[in-house]
Amino acid sequence: MDLVFLPLSLISLVAIGIMIGTIVVAYLKKITLTYAIIIANFFVFLISLFFRTQIINELGFRPIYLSLEMFPNVYTLFTSMFVHSDFLHILGNLFVFFFMGVAFEQRIGPKKFLIIYLITGVCGALTHALLNIDSMVPLIGASGAIFGILGAFAYAYPRDEIVMPVPIGIMFIMRIKVIYATILFAVFETIIVMFSVQDSTAHFAHLGGLASGVILAAILLRNRAERQSQTTGIRPLDYMQIKKDDTINFSHLTKLVKTAEEKKILQRIEKEDVLQVRDMWLDHFLEKITCPVCNKPLNHLDRKIWCEQNHFQTDY
């Protein structure tokens, strides 16, 4: 049986180049990936204003692509995350993603953030596809990946607050704890699915992205979630205040600074008066530093830092 690979127009190849190129450049230049993903989405959307048919038909993911004959086109699981149908679609998705994505990326670092974003986006699309396996209708939009980030954020940092629109009767923009926002969106999407509301939105993709985000965070961010749970019994005012026992030995950390960015992060940690915020930046710093001997990532636990190759060890 011959496998069918659908040809791409030049404009679709340009759009794919923008998707991949923007992320690669941002990662190598250490630019916030949330911004890069937003920029890539907007550029692809601008192209689709003039070449709508080519972009949606060629880069959207169709469930039938999971069949053996059409499997070569499964790369659209990735490209479909950068394609949107209209202004409301892209603005609604990226407005939520901007506030939530930047905050979450700062806490876990760009590498794990990108892994969670892409994998949960794919999982959301696959959830939709498995329930509509013979469909030829293209699935587009970043909402599956955005729900995945929301689920991962809620698992790792449930008590953190973010600004975002939440579905309470109508959409309200408010500051809310991540766990509450996640529960509200999960209930909202579940009700729509249960009552089989007919609209143009792939709600199962949202639920699939959300669930996969929680699962992926449980694998990649387990230590962070454990540290969060250990602080549950502490009163809020006590937790926010930096006490004498919470001081950091900055002289040991300074020796590990190799780049201007790492120096800037360490300076921010030194000046921070709020314990929770300081610890978030400290996690970010510890994710970036490398062994002064072999230049490989360092492990850290219980205020100790060490190299797996036993080249280096210190505390802070």
Phi/psi region, residue 259 (left: phi>0; alpha: psi -120 to 50; beta: rest), is: beta
pLDDT, tens digit, for every residue of 197-229? Answer: 777 788 899 999 999 999 999 999 876 655 555
Residues forming beta bridges with residue 304, ordered by sequence position? 301, 315
Question: Residue 314 pLDDT more than 80?
Answer: yes
pLDDT, tens digit, for every residue of 49-96? Answer: 999 999 999 999 999 999 999 999 999 999 999 999 899 899 988 988
What average pLDDT does range 109-116 have in this prediction?
94
Q: What is the structure's pLDDT at 3?
A: 72
Q: What is the structure's pLDDT at 234?
A: 38
Rounded-to-integer distance, Cα 226 and Cα 231, Å: 9
**What is the dotted CATH code of the domain comprising 10-224?**
1.20.1540.10
pLDDT, tens digit, for every residue of 115-142? Answer: 999 999 999 999 999 999 989 999 999 9
Q: What is the structure's pLDDT at 64?
A: 94
Q: What is the structure's pLDDT at 274?
A: 65
Domain(s) of CATH 1.20.1540.10: residues in the chain: 10-224
Question: Residue 282 pLDDT more than 90?
Answer: no
Question: Residue 276 pLDDT more than 80?
Answer: no
pLDDT band, residue 303 (cuts 50/70/90) = confident
Q: What is the structure's pLDDT at 161?
A: 84
pLDDT, tens digit, for every residue of 177-197? Answer: 899 989 988 998 888 888 777
Residue 162: what are its φ and ψ, rounded to 5°? -135, 160
Output the 3-class SS for the chain: CCCCCCCCCHHHHHHHHHHHHHHHHHHHCCCCHHHHHHHHHHHHHHHHHHCHHHHHHHHCECHHHHCCCCHHHHHHHHHHHHCCCCHHHHHHHHHHHHHHHHHHHHHHCHHHHHHHHHHHHHHHHHHHHHCCCCCCCCECCCHHHHHHHHHHHHHHCCCCEEEEEEEECEEEEEEEEHHHHHHHHHHHHHHHHHCCCCCCCCHHHHHHHHHHHHHHHHHHCHHHHHHHHHCCCCCHHHHHECCHHHCCCHHHHHCCCCCHHHHHHHHHHHHCCEHHHHHHHHHHHHHHCECCCCCCECEEECCEEECCCCCCEEEC
Rounded-to-integer distance, Cα 83 and Cα 171, Å: 24
When the pLDDT of each residue in the chain is averaged and rounded to a whole number, the result is 86
Q: What is the structure's pLDDT at 306?
A: 87
Question: Residue 288 pLDDT more than 80?
Answer: yes
Q: What is the structure's pLDDT at 75?
A: 96
Q: What is the structure's pLDDT at 92?
A: 86
Kindly state the percentage of the chain with pLDDT values over 70. Answer: 88
Rounded-to-integer distance, Cα 36 and Cα 271, Å: 28
- Please name the residues in contact with 184: beta carbons below 8 A apart, sequence gap of 6 or more: 166, 167, 168
Q: What is the structure's pLDDT at 163?
A: 80
Are 99 and 34 in contact by the 8 Å Cβ rule? The answer is: no
Q: What is the structure's pLDDT at 226?
A: 54
Question: Residue 151 pLDDT more than 90?
Answer: yes
